[in-house]
Amino acid sequence: MKIPGERITRTRFIQTDKYVVAVDVEMVIPADDPSEPCYEPETVRLLRDIHEHAERGDLAWLARHGKVYAAVESA
């Protein structure tokens, strides 16, 4: 279901203990309530999927959807 309104692209960062994934997502500024951009259900599902794959360490899948950063242990 598409929410009517202006569409904008924003970078979101999904963080786990080992990885941070930067992904560009589409947000909608609804015509009915332009006070705050929101996500459509498909975008929420994508963000959840990215978090799940990051927790499992599925780097190949993550690299297809965004930019992956790995945490480095400090000395």
Domain membership of residue 12 (yes or no) is yes
Domain membership of residue 54 (yes or no) is yes
Q: The whole model's pTM is what?
A: 0.85
Q: Provide the residue type at 75 as one letter.
A: A
Rounded CA-CA distance 35/42 in Å is: 21
Give how many domains the chain has, as a whole number: 1
Domain membership of residue 37 (yes or no) is yes
Domain membership of residue 11 (yes or no) is yes
Domain that holds residue 22: 5-70
Q: What is the CA radius of gyration of the chain?
A: 15
- For residue 55, name the pLDDT band (cuts at 50, 70, 90): very high
pLDDT digits (tens, 9 = 90+) for 17-30: 999 999 999 999 99
Q: What is the pLDDT of residue 71?
A: 85
Domain membership of residue 20 (yes or no) is yes
Domain membership of residue 75 (yes or no) is no
Label residues 22-61 b or e (16+ Cβ within 10 Å = b): ebebebbeeeeeeeeeebbeebeebbeebeebbeeeeeee
